[in-house]
Structure 1
Amino acid sequence: MERPIVDKIMTSQGSKDGVIKGGYSHPIPLELLFIIFLRLPAKTLARCVCVSKLWASIIRSQDFITSFQSQSRILFFIRDYYQTRFENRFFLSNQQEGTSFFLSRTTCHVSDSRSRCRQPQEVNGLICCGYGTSPVIYNPTSGKSLTLPRIYLGQNVGPYVENILGYDPINEEYKVLSMTPLPGNHSSDSIIPYKEHKVFTLGSEGLWRMVECNTIHCPGTISVCINGVLYYGAYVGESMKQRSLVRFDVRTEKFGFTKMPESVQTLSYYSSTLMNYNEKIALAYSTGYDTYELWVLKDEWSKMCFSTRLWTQPCIKFNVEGITRMGEIILTPRYGGEFYAVYYNLVTKQFRKIDIEGYKSPGGVVVSWEYAETSTMLL
């Protein structure tokens, strides 16, 4: 741990030799406390902030939050459908040991058919589950949720609302971008232009406010937030047939658009996955039963290819769910049965498997992320 954070904490809490105001001597060095706290789950940290002002100042410091969130593991999300609701189950895995454990569960009411098709999106340990006029921010670690103010629809817009979560690291603000489509055929597979765009800042007492977007488009992928920019794939053009990458700067609240590669222009976003590849935006999709392409945007688009043909169990069709910071592609079986995930290393070409013991997925939506438990007091 760097010394400056210790000095800053002790400046406000007492002397550097561990003597706290009021004559109380703390027996544990601050450096050791910092390390111990890093090894605790977020649920325990939430209780630790009540022990003393010193503990609270360490846990709530930005240096600690940054270090804590860098200890990412894989979060498995499993959705079970019922007639009027669906349940989200979250499992957290240890990448090195290949084990997993149940983290929490949340129940959401089904407001429309499209809610079944939408998967949550994770930013800094918080998940945006909302699809509709009352978006919900959920913390799988604590099991707590926050329902945002209702979005009131304007005239000549469709009834469905899509909401995505972003984070501005400069101002340390979370914002939700809400998009509402034009009226039309809103079946789960329809492509409808989105007209209204609104933003809400978490932790504020303000209302939803309108933001301007001069390019009519329809979101087609999940969103990914990298360094204060929200990315998502979209359909653009008069006929909504062109594929483009949308960039939304969370701080300035401005939109930008980048054309997708030519080979992606005929692709259905349904079979693709947007992801964070070494702090660069990337798009992966299947080109055959066991072959895949990964497009990465640096200064321009570049392509990598990989295959699951050498996996020990042949004839398994996988979905690409994401990628770890170590460069391992996360794959899950497309069809039901015992649930597991396979990690494929793009460099060594090796596979490894992680099971969720005792749980069977009957074909429900299965998603996984590289997840950092959050110690934020927001939820």
Structure 2
Amino acid sequence: MSVTEDRLPIISRRSKRTKISPNGVEENSFQIPIDLVFEILLRLPAKSVAACRCVSKLWGSLISRQDFTELFFTKSVHRPKLLFTCRKDGKLFFFSSPPDENSSADSLVSFSSSCRVSRPINGLVCLERDVKKTNETVRVICNPSTGQCLNLPKPTTTWSGLRIHNFFVYEPIEKQFKLLLSCGIHEHLVLTLGTGELSWRVIEPSKPHCIHRLSNICINGVLYYPATDMSSTDDIIVCFDVSSEKFRFITAIQGFIQAGHDGVLINYNGKLASLVSKRSRIVDRRSKSIELWVLQDVENQECIKHTYVLPTWWQDIVGTGCYTFVGVTRSKEFMFSPWYQTVPFYVFYFNIEKQTIRRAAIRGMEALQGHTVLTFLDHVENVKPLSLCFS
């Protein structure tokens, strides 16, 4: 990579500097070339890059430059990681790990109060934290890799006593992050980040619906989640267009809808899909097969069902563990992860084309043994200041 002088006008390109010591003797000091600084920083994990901001004002300025943060983000997209969250003693811990066999998880950040966490988007997550002193719920956008946080304004609602569902979403064309709140009855609230003064807007879906649980996925600017139609009590899949902020509903294909309610919604090659086993999102030694339901056409509500039989030795490799679906990797492997931190901690990959299963041991989280773990695929490290993420 070559960094031209006009791209970094604040940094000298000289590699050698001469100064006069107090006794009148010339001394030479060498600066690291900017090209080399860039290459060094691009090879570091995001947590280390964030620490490098404190090296000097020069380094802090360099790391905050938009051209550097964009380049780092682009490289991170091609080397995604696993992200783990785990709760213990009222704290929420974040870890990341490369998706390779027998890797070690890096501890990222932790929060001192119990939180609910969203699926990560472009390296960011939304935390919902209950503040006991004020009996309020605070929502925070957090970058687990750098520890940066942004407190969001409190919504003014009359939803007292109702369970509010949070959906952190992203619109890729306009590059906008939004937060959708729903109490599962009538009105919803939307907050667009990066619009100056943050304010909530009220939107009303054409079909009032009740949300049972937060199995959701955002694909190409559309949020999908399972719900029940309040007027007919039928199960449906809700489609929320992040750009237009309009709702649509999948109602006609009951097999796909049922799989979406019982299993886990995933992104399968850019299409909405669901993984389910025995009408459940759990797999264990008793599981015989896995169903993959893929929505082929949203407008015409057409889907395809694939059934994959697990090998006979599946029960021997998983033992007595209980695993949940995480998603499908870029190499078309189904990934399963334990509900709880175990020692050793294994994640499993089922290759649907080769009909093979491999497991990977993740070290570094042993202190959280016995506590609930959430696992996410394709986590991207992001060193952008939050102000640039939402600009």
User: Given that residues 38 and 68 in structure 1 are in contact (C-alpha distance below 8 angstroms), is that contact kept between their aligned partners in structure 2?
Assistant: no
Structure 2: gaps (5+ residues): 16-29, 131-136, 280-285
1:372 correspondence with 2:380: yes
Deviation of the 1:64 alpha carbon: 4.1
Rg comparison, structure with higher value: 2
- Assess, with a 3 A threshold, how the Cα gap between structure 1 residues 36 and 229 changes in structure 2: closer, same or farther: farther
Map 1:1-379 to 2 at 5 A.
Answer: 10-14=5-9, 28=33, 30=35, 34-48=38-52, 50-52=57-59, 53-54=61-62, 56-57=64-65, 59-80=67-88, 82=89, 86-101=90-105, 102-109=107-114, 120-130=118-128, 133-154=137-158, 159-181=162-184, 194-203=185-194, 204-219=196-211, 220-249=213-242, 251-259=243-251, 261-266=253-258, 269=261, 271-287=262-278, 289-290=286-287, 291-299=289-297, 300-309=302-311, 310-311=313-314, 312-334=317-339, 337-338=342-343, 339-350=345-356, 351-357=358-364, 358-359=366-367, 361-362=369-370, 364-378=372-386
Deviations 1:159-194 (A, max 9, x none): 32211111222332211111123xxxxxxxxxxxx2
- Assess, with a 3 A threshold, how the Cα gap between structure 1 residues 57 and 362 changes in structure 2: closer, same or farther: closer
Q: Distance in 2 between matches of 1:19 and 1:240?
A: 71
Cα root mean square deviation, aligned: 3.5
- Assess, with a 3 A threshold, how the Cα gap between structure 1 residues 56 and 149 changes in structure 2: closer, same or farther: closer
Q: Distance in 2 between matches of 1:321 and 1:227?
A: 19
Q: Distance in 2 between matches of 1:265 and 1:56?
A: 45
Deviation of the 1:62 alpha carbon: 3.4
> What's 2:133 paired with?
none
- Assess, with a 3 A threshold, how the Cα gap between structure 1 residues 355 and 365 changes in structure 2: closer, same or farther: closer
- Assess, with a 3 A threshold, how the Cα gap between structure 1 residues 78 and 157 changes in structure 2: closer, same or farther: closer
User: Given that residues 138 and 146 in structure 1 are in contact (C-alpha distance below 8 angstroms), is that contact kept between their aligned partners in structure 2?
Assistant: yes
Deviation of the 1:378 alpha carbon: 0.6
Number of residues paired by the alignment? 346
Deviations 1:269-321 (A, max 9, x none): 3x421122222222112227312212122323222223444332445442112
1:98 is aligned with what amino acid? Answer: N
> What's 1:189 paired with?
none
When structure 1 is superposed on structure 2, of 288-297 and 305-314 the one drifting more is 305-314
User: Given that residues 128 and 136 in structure 1 are in contact (C-alpha distance below 8 angstroms), is that contact kept between their aligned partners in structure 2?
Assistant: yes
3-state secondary structure, aligned to 1:108? coil
3-state secondary structure, aligned to 2:48? helix
Q: Distance in 1 between matches of 2:258 and 2:173?
A: 37
Q: Distance in 1 between matches of 2:368 and 2:201?
A: 43
1:377 is aligned with what amino acid? Answer: P
- Assess, with a 3 A threshold, how the Cα gap between structure 1 residues 278 and 98 changes in structure 2: closer, same or farther: farther
2:354 is aligned with what amino acid? Answer: T
User: Given that residues 173 and 202 in structure 1 are in contact (C-alpha distance below 8 angstroms), is that contact kept between their aligned partners in structure 2?
Assistant: yes
Q: Distance in 2 between matches of 1:55 and 1:313?
A: 44
3-state secondary structure, aligned to 1:238? coil
What TM-score comes out, normalization by structure 1 length? 0.77
Q: Distance in 2 between matches of 1:109 and 1:363?
A: 13
Q: Distance in 1 between matches of 2:69 and 2:103?
A: 31
- Assess, with a 3 A threshold, how the Cα gap between structure 1 residues 54 and 136 changes in structure 2: closer, same or farther: closer
3-state secondary structure, aligned to 1:146? strand
- Assess, with a 3 A threshold, how the Cα gap between structure 1 residues 318 and 13 changes in structure 2: closer, same or farther: closer
What fraction of aligned residue pairs are identical, expressed as a percent?
30
User: Given that residues 34 and 58 in structure 1 are in contact (C-alpha distance below 8 angstroms), is that contact kept between their aligned partners in structure 2?
Assistant: no
2:226 is aligned with what amino acid? Answer: G
Deviation of the 1:158 alpha carbon: 5.2
When structure 1 is superposed on structure 2, of 64-73 and 275-284 the one drifting more is 64-73
